[in-house]
Amino acid sequence: MNIALILPALWGGGAERAASELSYHLAKKNTLYIFTRYKTKNDYPFCGTIIKLSSLGSLKQTYISDAIKIYSEAKQLANLKERYNISVSISFMEEMNIPNILSKGKDRVIASVRTTLSGRKDLQGLYYNKVFLNFVYNRADAVVVLSRYGKADMIRSYGIKRELLKIIPNHIRQMKDVKEEGEWNYGNKVILSIARISEVKQQQLMVECLEQIKEKVPEAKLLLIGNNATPYASRIAKYVKEKRLGDAVKFIGQVDNVTYYLQHSKVFINLSKAEGFPNAVLEAMTEGVPVVALDAPGANREILAPEIRQKHIEKAVHGKYGVLCPCCDEDIRDDHYTEIKKEIVSEIIQMLENGEQWTIYAQKAKERSLHFTADRVNVLWDQLIENN
């Protein structure tokens, strides 16, 4: 069977990494093509023939420019699908989901939504217009979401037909050996974050929490792994300098081998405003690192506390597999933000200082990670491709 994976770029974040890993699985039994806008030296490894789409260049984002880009890429995809006799087309993220669906010919079209769209107020333009998404997505053969929350969100917020939605979570990727790494210089009270440094990930909130944590745990350090070449990262770096936290907050940048940092960290934090299915949380749990996260739109609750049924939590919850705190937004500096920040600080301090609690959650984290192995997740993809 000829299968196409379609995505904007071959590097960057969790969606691209998931597509990379899926390519190696699908290529075992199929002929695989990867259609993408960009190809760079930083690309994740992909198995298959990579074909670059023609670019219209840099256009100022408006509904009109988005429509022009969608038309151009849908036309290119239609031609490529016919040329390479594509049977199944699997796209990732809205910028490629939409032209994939609109270029549908004889192929079966599967669109994969990689975040909780209604929770991403930063995503603007025609690609994220609710009426347009409803019109387009309901014409796909299947729409993959990452969690039960994601499925409910697509039904509730975008009117996507229930029967089209299929839940396929991310799986845990193979972690690298760390024997070649050098001496650890950050101590044994490390709080770790692995995410691109951006407003939606709320690293500013993490730094503010660390300020208060250090009052009780002076040796605590916050390590931020992720792309730090952004204006938002520069603002945080300036704040760190003003507060004289340079010895406690470390911008590690992007690294290939996160295992080294995970195996030396005490707590992993995820304070995103919204998530799809956080790969880094699963990676931390695989290494037995307890997780403190926000109960944000997305899969954090499904991973850490699947037993919770109420719509919103008002206080921090010690879930079966990790700790959840109520959601907050660092851009809204009200009493709620202040109170939630105190709760986050308290929960992280407990995890740093309470050895018994840490041991329980370290064991539970490893137990939960076994639910998201590659074998389990790949079976779901195979069933979707073969049975739809």
Starting at the earlier edge strand, list the strands of the sheet with 317-318. 249-253, 221-225, 190-194, 267-270, 291-294, 323-325, 317-318
Q: What is the pLDDT of residues 350-359, one digit of tens each?
A: 999 999 999 9
Residues of the chain with pLDDT under 50: none
- The β-bridge partners of 165 are 143
Check if the beta carbon of residue 306 is closer than 8 Å to that of residue 123: no
Phi, psi of 250 (to 5 degrees): -120, 125
DSSP label at residue 321: S
Q: Give me the DSSP letters along 131-166.
A: HHHHHHHTTSSEEEESSHHHHHHHHHHH---GGGEE
pLDDT of residue 174: 64
Cβ(324)–Cβ(304) under 8 Å? yes
**Beta strand extents in the chain (DSSP E only):** 2-7, 31-36, 49-52, 88-92, 108-112, 142-145, 165-167, 190-194, 221-225, 249-253, 267-270, 291-294, 317-318, 323-325
Q: What pLDDT is recorded for position 72?
A: 96
Q: State the residue for tokens 């709080």.
A: 191
3 state SS of 178: coil
Q: What is the pLDDT of residues 228-248, one digit of tens each?
A: 888 999 999 999 999 999 999
Q: How far apart are the first and last CA of the chain?
A: 14
**Distance (Å, whole) CA 236 – CA 254:** 17
Q: What is the DSSP letter of 135?
A: H
Q: What residues are paired with 52 via a beta bridge?
A: 36
Residue 315 structure tokens = 């206080």
